[in-house]
Amino acid sequence: MAILRAIREAPALEHIRVIVVSSQAGPIQIAEIADLGALYRSKPSELSKVEFAAEIIAICKSPVPATSL
């Protein structure tokens, strides 16, 4: 979370879209990730890697939403 906070606190980096990928995040961490303006995605199983990659690519290609951070 420290790196995500540092990105959000640096005006020159506020345009960067962050996607946190983990299989260990609990509800509190997921809420903190969202509060910091990042997206959370669970690590995919072996069977869904192609769909996961497509989702990440779509997120990266979509416009960055305006934030109030």
pLDDT digits (tens, 9 = 90+) for 5-15: 999 899 998 88
Q: Which domain holds residue 46?
A: 2-61
Q: Considering its fold, how many domains does the chain have in total? A: 1
State mean pLDDT over 35-39: 92
Tell me whether residue 17 is in a domain.
yes
pTM (whole model) above 0.85: no
Burial class (CB in 10 A: 0-12, 13-18, 19+), 27: exposed
Q: Give 45's pLDDT tier (boundaries 50, 70, 90).
A: low
Tell me whether residue 68 is in a domain.
no
Helix (H) or strand (E) holding 30: helix 27-35
Answer yes or no: are the C-beta atoms of 38 and 18 closer than 8 Å.
Answer: yes
Residue 46 pLDDT exceeds 60: yes
Q: What is the mean pLDDT of the chain?
A: 84
Tell me whether residue 66 is in a domain.
no
Tell me whether residue 69 is in a domain.
no
